[in-house]
Amino acid sequence: MLDSGSQSHFITETCVQRLRLSRTQTHTSIQGISNVNTATHHSVSVQLRSRHTDWHTKLDCAVLSNITGMTSVTKLDISSWKIPNDIKLADEQFHHPRDIDLLIGAHLFYEMSRPGRRTRPGNFPVLQETVLGWTLAGRTPATTTSDTAQHTFLLREDSRLECNLNRFWEVEQVEQSTMTAEQKSCEEHFLTHTTQQPDGRFMVKLPTKMDPTQLGASRLSAERRLHTIERRLERDPDLKVQYHNFMKEYEELGHMEPATPQEGKGTCYYLPHHPVFKEMSSTTRTRVVFDGGAKTSKGLSLNDILQVGATVQQDLYSIVLRFRTHQVCFTADIAKMYRQIVVHPQDRDLQRILWRYSSEEPVQEYRLTTVTYGTSSAPFLATRCLKKLADDNKQHHPRADQVLLSGTSTLEDAINMQKEISSLLQTAGFTLRKWASNHSTFLDTIPRELQETQTTLSLDNEDGVTTLGLLWNPKRDQLQVKSNLTHMQAMNSTASTKRKVLAITASIFDPLGLLSPAVIAYKMFLQKLWQDKLQWDELLPIHLQQEWNQLQQTIPKLSHIRINRKVI
């Protein structure tokens, strides 16, 4: 079944068993018509191939015990339909009642559609051409009576909400360091293919887990996204200037190079791009991000074929905890860290983009020459290069791995450590900037243009939006929490649902447990919602709404809390 209203693909338990597919544990919440909710706990990968064309793709499907009832409801008399003989139907037995084993959602619905369409006057269905063959949809003579069951589908996946919920409950758990088979393979690939150029910069190859030739076509989709961005930029002149400046700098620094279609003898993948905004940044508040998750004509993306790799750096909890023990502490940021690492020329066709500075110009092709933000392997490649640099120079620079947050017991040692780390990183093209410290004399040794200008720094290195984030004020040498929920928003007592409550509560970021007295109250309130068996979008009862209003009003007040960084 093809369903343009579903955000996910689904397969029945019976079909999974019949095909003997291996499962992956994946919890997904699903919402349908009239806010009817259900959930799946497993997913499978399915290879789908057309019987009539050479089209094929890979689907990631959530597993359900049952998708819907039999379709059609009754056997259809198609003798008067006059279906043309010159077409190949996707299902020649469509008029017999049969179970639905696979539902293909909107992600592939339009990609599978073809221009062919045939209609017939009267109460007859529409014939629509697809890559699977011709399908039928619409009214039929046998299904127009009032007592005939009607099937309507609109499925929404709430996996992002579930991920937030899991993160909320699991943030205090200690992560296991055991690497998976894929992570081990990614590590071996890095060690085998990573080199340093004569100028010291690292050159890496993209760690793929599938043959890139399986990707499919992506240029048309990328060009559509480019036209969408161009229309947006025309409506926002300020954004247009910032976007163009970013791309111009990208090109001037050699981080992207012109390419022609003839150069791509092998497989090419085109990355769509869009702007993101980071208000906390003291340098580039608007930057361009490339979408490595964009699907091709075969339903795969670049990120689907890349190995993610293991987490190289220590967990934030350990880093911040150690940070609170130093007498003199400092932090710094590597300027354009990803873009200081060169991607091997053989892999650059997998990082193609489309761009032009004016809609009157022809669309130009470029290849990104460095590790690209937005690809799934980028975090591993960048941090692994830093670790390799530290490991290779550990004998002469034993403290080179302490870059994000660090410190020492004396001012003199801190200054020496800053010089040691800076000089070593510079040999590989990494420039440290945005220096901040709780000691003014330490900062006097650093050029002002390399110093941080923000008064408070975020210690949450994730780019996701959080209701509460951990901040450090170097001048006061205090930690505090940042609330994105304003007092006016908290005072807004409009009716809430379990979904709205969770959206606020699950985004609390508290790695050190500094907010535990407040967070426990929110967790206990969530338990009440589950105990009352409320649906996701069901309005809270009056007594729970009143209790939530009181809790919600305390969130902005948490940003006034100040806690001394130094604890030992």
pLDDT of residue 399: 66
Greatest extent of the chain over all pairs of C-alpha atoms, in Å:
93
The pLDDT confidence band at residue 188, using thresholds 50, 70 and 90, is very high
Does residue 24 surpass a pLDDT of 80? Answer: yes
Q: What is the pLDDT of residue 55?
A: 84
Percentage of the chain surpassing pLDDT 90? 31
- Mean pLDDT of the region 359-387: 94
**pLDDT value for 245:** 94
162 confidence band (pLDDT: 50, 70, 90): low
pLDDT of 465 reads: 34
Please give the C-alpha separations between residue 242 and each of 239, 275, 282, 437, 477, in angstroms, as whole numbers.
5, 9, 15, 30, 34
Cβ distance 259 to 251 under 8 Å? no
The span from the CA of 256 to the CA of 373, in Å, is: 13
pLDDT tier, 348 (very low <50, low <70, confident <90, very high otherwise): very high
CA distance 472 to 293: 33
Q: Verify cis geometry, omega within 30 degrees of 0, for the bond prior to 65.
A: no
pLDDT score recorded for residue 332: 87
Q: What is the mean pLDDT of residues 369-389?
A: 94
pLDDT of residue 145: 47
Token pair listed for 506: 């699950």
Q: At what angle do helices 498-505 and 516-531 cross, to 10 degrees?
A: 160
Query: What would the mean pLDDT of 5-29 be, rounded to a whole number?
Result: 83
Rounded to the nearest integer, the mean pLDDT of the chain is 82
Mean predicted confidence (pLDDT) in 144-171 = 52
Residue 410 has pLDDT above 80, yes or no: yes
Q: What per-residue confidence (pLDDT) applies to 466?
A: 37
Per cent of the chain over pLDDT 70 is 82
Q: Which residue has the tokens 């350990």?
A: 318
Question: Does residue 464 carry a pLDDT above 70?
Answer: no
> What are the DSSP calls for 425-463, one per residue?
HHTTT--EEEEEES-HHHHHTS-GGGB---SSEE-----
Contacts by residues 468-474 (CB-CB < 8 Å, ≥ 24 positions apart) = 468/507, 468/508, 468/509, 468/510, 468/515, 468/555, 468/558, 468/559, 469/509, 470/320, 470/509, 470/510, 470/511, 470/512, 470/514, 472/331, 472/436, 472/565, 473/562, 474/331, 474/436, 474/437, 474/438
pLDDT, position 122: 74
Q: Higher-confidence residue: 425 or 27?
A: 425
Per-residue model confidence (pLDDT) at position 120: 79
Q: Comparing 183-197, 290-304, 506-520, 548-562, which segment has the lowest mean pLDDT?
A: 506-520
Least confident of 275-289, 339-353, 444-458: 275-289
Specify the pLDDT at position 72. 66
Confidence check: pLDDT of 467 > 50: no
Query: Which of the 8 DSSP states describes residue 296?
Result: -
Q: Is the pLDDT of residue 233 over 90?
A: yes
Confidence of residue 469 (pLDDT cuts 50, 70, 90): low
The residue with tokens 């959206």 is 503
Query: What gap in Å lies between CA 155 and CA 164, rounded to an integer?
Result: 20
Low-confidence winner among 146-150, 226-230, 307-311 (lowest mean pLDDT)? 146-150
Average pLDDT over residues 461-468: 40
Q: Is the pLDDT of residue 206 over 90?
A: yes
Strands 342-343 and 202-204: parallel
Of 95-109, 170-184, 217-231, 530-544, minimum mean pLDDT range:
170-184
Across the beta sheet with 562-564, the strand order is 457-458, 468-473, 478-483, 562-564
Per the DSSP assignment, residues forming a β-bridge with 368 are 256
Residue 543, burial from CB neighbour count under 10 angstroms (0-12, 13-18, 19+): exposed
Is the pLDDT confidence value at 18 over 80?
yes
| Res 35: pLDDT | 57
Q: What is the pLDDT of residue 367?
A: 96
Considering the entire predicted model, what is its pTM? 0.65
